Chain A
Amino acid sequence: MIQAECYSDDYQTMLKKNCADNIEQFGYQFEKIRVLYENFGFIYPEECNTNYRDSWFHYRKLYKKKDIESISNEKYGLEEHLLRAAKDAQINFLQQVGQLLEVWYHNDTLLECELSNENTYQGILERITEKNWVANVWELSEQNEELFSNVCVYYYRTKLNSDDLKQKLQELLHGLKNLILDLRLGGVNIYRPVDNIQYFRECVSVYNDICASLEEKEVIYLVSATGVIRKNCGK
């Protein structure tokens, strides 16, 4: 009987420590990306949690296996699950923001505003006092989704929409889509970033750019309400 080749105890300990460090580092990354999800009110994808959980299963198996092949399999399995958990969370976030921003970029073709109640919309808009004008309109329209949606589209078209804004939205959407492509293609490329959180940094950078530029143009408050608005004012 051929005995399977084994790593030394010290080397096994080092591998376990590396794997534990990877799990810990994902925890820090999770704390940060959760902030992005919470800010926009998005729901964190279930698959990311199951991938994180599965990485623990591989970690636990590291203590049961002894031969080189099994330990290597568990180590790569653990890394793969953590990588997928992080990537799925980033791609999902970027896709959600991208889809919502595209509605405003293509608002001419995707949204329509019922103009017969223009006076009511203007009456509501005159009473806005808060910086988050979208939340203010929601209160002033007494949570009537249809009225709320029409007022938002009306305000966007009459006060916010401009060539400058359209240009900015286009730039942001290109940035988002490029990063999504990089993240997806990263899986088939030989290239691996030395810094494990390089893509996460880029994700936060895109988010910061969106917040900074769209806050100035008052559009940032519309992003999370886009689904409701499209439901009521979609063509």
Chain B
Amino acid sequence: MDNIEIINVFTEKDKKFNRLMVERALMDEQKVQGAERRGGKMPMPEQMGTGLYQERNYDFTSEIINDFRRKWGILQ
């Protein structure tokens, strides 16, 4: 393992700058990030907030619900 040589073109200052850039890019990404790949919790989008199921806007268009009702004969 010791004979594996890693070329280092970055100074300590460069590495700090690189980290800063990666973190800045991630800050915005995390706001819109969905579920983690595995084992992670699924964060609720910010606009959902807390509240009752009925009060939440799930962004389902009423057309989908109407189609569903028509298909299965569910009356209003």
Contacts and interface: CB of A to CB of B under 8 A. Distances in A.
Interface in B30-76: 37-39
Interface stretch (A12-20, A117-125, A173-181, A218-226): A218-226
Interface of B: 1, 4-11, 13-26, 28-29, 37-39
B1 A41 contact: no
B26 A201 contact: no
A115 interface: no
Given A197-B1, A227-B25, A231-B28, A41 B7 contact: no
A215 B10 CA distance: 10
A29 B22 CA distance: 23
Interface string A33-74: 001101111110001001000000000000000000000000
Given A228-B24, A228-B25, A36 B14 contact: no
Contacts of A41: 15-23
Contacts of A204: 4-6
9 contacts: A40-B22, A132-B10, A132-B13, A132-B14, A215-B9, A223-B18, A225-B21, A227-B24, A228-B21
A47 B39 CA distance: 9
Contact of B21 (A197, A207, A227): A227
A230 B18 CA distance: 15
Nearest to B8: A39
The 10 closest A-B pairs by CB, nearest first: A227-B25, A41-B18, A41-B19, A224-B18, A225-B21, A28-B1, A41-B22, A135-B17, A208-B7, A215-B9
A200 B4 contact: yes
B42 to A, nearest CB: 16
A178 B26 CA distance: 27
Contact of B6 (A35, A42, A223, A225): A35
